[in-house]
Structure 1
Amino acid sequence: MYDLNKIKEYIDTKYIGQTIIQFDELNSTVVKAKSIFATCPDGTVVLSENQSKFKIRFGREWVSYPDENIYLSIILKPALEDYKISKFETIASSSVCEAINCMFQDIDCKIKWPNDILINFKKICSISCEIVNKKNIAEGVIASLGINVNLDSEYIDEDIKQIATCIKTETELEVDREKLIACILKKFETYYDELLNFNTIVNAVDIFSNYSILRGKDIEIVKPGKKTSRKVNVTDIDCDGWLMVLNDKGNEEILNSGDISIRYERKT
């Protein structure tokens, strides 16, 4: 189990992670966070050593391994006029990537828009953000992370070893999970505070752009369920975390992550 006292020693936040609820096993931290949403303060964190049904984009499942990795959800209750999931994905992605780069300065952690974290072009983390509604009115957001941390490479299925890895494999170091959790939550609070106070995510966008693995690349975009694709060139992300691209006619487009999936040439 996670050492909650150790997390408290490391953490330096006002409210994100000041309430932590821990479980040995859940179907999903997202589902649990939804079920207790109404009774929890803003910034409550749900932690689990294992989760059996963590869904990521387009219904795909993130395979979980107990006792080695990090699976958590953050309950957020911002007073906003509009809830754009892209803003929360940007905050979460920037927080995880920057925290890892701060803790391990000899690695090059990157972000693949909209919500994947990579080391050496292999995925170590997937992020999922979901609006919580009551009677069709948005009441908040649940931001969820699944991070491959101390998993031995032999337990990663052969069919995904070319695209997935963990922090321990890439750094050759055993990771202090509690310290990493605390670092992520501190970064998260910094960027979330900007959203609460100014309704902007300028600093998170800057971090995301700096660590973006797609900026300047030619990519293929595909709509779910479609076989055809088209090529565009990525220029950056905008102030809401949406992808800015140039199409084959040289015209700028803004792409929503809910509408497309991406293919790109991965270096090895």
Structure 2
Amino acid sequence: MYDFNSINDYLNTKIIGQTIIQYDNLTSTYAKDKNIFNTCPDGTVVLSENQSKCTVRFGNKWICREDKNIYLSIILKPIGKNLMISKFDVIGCSSVCEAVADTCNVECKIKWPNDVMINNNKISSVSCDFVGKSDDPSGVIISMVVNANMGTDEIDKINEEIKNSSTSLKIETGTDVHRELIIGHILNNVEKHYDEFMKQGTIISAVSSCIHNSAIVNKTISVMKRGKKTVRKLYAKSIDGEGRLVVADEKENEEILSPGETIIIYEGKA
């Protein structure tokens, strides 16, 4: 299992990760967080060595390899704040991207709204959900998966679609990575961005990180509305203060896209 003492050595937080619960195997860390939400303090983290049902945005499946990857979910209870899922997508993605860059010395790109990539291949995905009613939520759960120590042979056993768009930190760095170090840095970054949100109501630092590391900002992209078939070509201009994508059409008319209703069709690897 994860070395809890080692994770704690890397933590520099007051809220995030001050309570950590570990499991060998779960259906999903998100499901466990949702089940224990009411009895756990703000910032509680659930870790699992394996997940039997690992799904990310829109119910898409993610690779699960026991003892190889990182599976975690964080309970957040920002009472009285203006909650939008897009804000926490940005907090999660920027936290993973920054942590990987700092600990593994590799360049990451954020594929808005939920994926972190190296060399155009996914190494991580972030999924955020409200707890309680969507119009009056009790809080938010941020779930993260990170491909850490899978080798090429393990990825090659996966179906073609996933295999051809996935990588791991081990593959990209050429060596096993210290999972506890990465987890500690992720949680420290979440605390930094969450602290700004709680004190100021903004996510400026997380948005700036996402723009700086974006895979699509200042590029032309193809966009579909969820449930629709029409594909539009739009220019990705920026990410706004709510974590939404700012785009413009060929006539330079601006539009703001929310992640829950938008599908980005990426050229090349998905």
TM-score by length of 1: 0.96
Quote the residue 2:136 is aligned against. Answer: 137
Is 1:237 the counterpart of 2:239? The answer is: yes
More deviation, 80-89/176-185: 80-89
Structure 2 counterpart of 1:260, one-letter code:
T
Quote the residue 1:24 is aligned against. Answer: 24
Quote the residue 2:90 is aligned against. Answer: 90
Is 1:117 the counterpart of 2:119? The answer is: no
Distance across 2 between alignment mates of 1:137 and 1:223: 25
Distance across 1 between alignment mates of 2:177 and 2:15: 25
Structure 2 counterpart of 1:233, one-letter code:
Y
Question: Kindly tell me: are residues 230 and 134 of structure 1, through their superposed partners in 2, closer, same or farther at Cα, counting changes over 3 Å?
Answer: closer
Quote the residue 1:193 is aligned against. Answer: 195
Q: Quick check: 1:218–1:264 contact (8 Å CA) kept in 2?
A: no
Q: Which of 253, 256, 263 in structure 1 is aligned with 2:255?
A: 253
The percentage of counterpart residues that share the same residue type is 50
Deviation at 1:136, TM superposition (A): 6.2
Distance across 2 between alignment mates of 1:237 and 1:35: 33
Distance across 1 between alignment mates of 2:250 and 2:5: 54
Q: Quick check: 1:52–1:63 contact (8 Å CA) kept in 2?
A: no
Is 1:69 the counterpart of 2:69? The answer is: yes
Structure 2 unaligned blocks of 5 or more: none
Distance across 2 between alignment mates of 1:13 and 1:135: 29
Q: Quick check: 1:50–1:67 contact (8 Å CA) kept in 2?
A: yes
Q: Deviations over 1:116-143 (max 9, x none)?
A: 0000010011100000016963110000
Quote the residue 2:40 is aligned against. Answer: 40
Distance across 2 between alignment mates of 1:264 and 1:9: 39
Is 1:222 the counterpart of 2:210? The answer is: no
SS of corresponding position for 1:90: helix
Quote the residue 1:166 is aligned against. Answer: 168
Cα root mean square deviation, aligned: 1.6
